[in-house]
Structure 1
Amino acid sequence: MKKIKITANGKQFEISEGKTISEFAKDMGLNPKRCVVELNKKALKFSEFENLKLNGGDILEILNLVAGG
């Protein structure tokens, strides 16, 4: 499968073409349902990034939400 390059949280990654943001978050060890995601400076809802495929050159910021006190 073809590879594409993206930037996530300031680091470059080479991933398989067609990967969703949700799949990428899981690959990073995160629970996508507990993440806030910004794609190319646009904040996304979970319902948007669950099936949104990444493209070469995309810039992601992923924040993992942690509850507790």
Structure 2
Amino acid sequence: MGSASDATHAEAIRTHCTKLGVNCHLRVTSAHKGTEETLAIIAQVCLLPDSSHMIPGCTKMSCKLLSRLVIL
């Protein structure tokens, strides 16, 4: 989530994911204001034992940042 104000919406998504058997981890961080924290969270997500990882909620800017990480 980009801010704590997104929590209600994110909780609804987590509830639905759980019903489908999908693990869901919620984090609050801003790719714009907390780039280092966001990168640390992404690194943690990539180490999870799940078979696939999805990072929803990407804005245009954070997706550009993520694409640069993948290229590097």
TM-score by length of 2: 0.25
Structure with the higher fraction of residues in helix conformation: 2
TM-score by length of 1: 0.25
Structure number with the bigger relative contact order (C-alpha 8 A, sep ≥ 6) is 1
Q: Of the two, which has the highest radius of gyration?
A: 2
Structure with the higher fraction of residues in strand conformation: 1
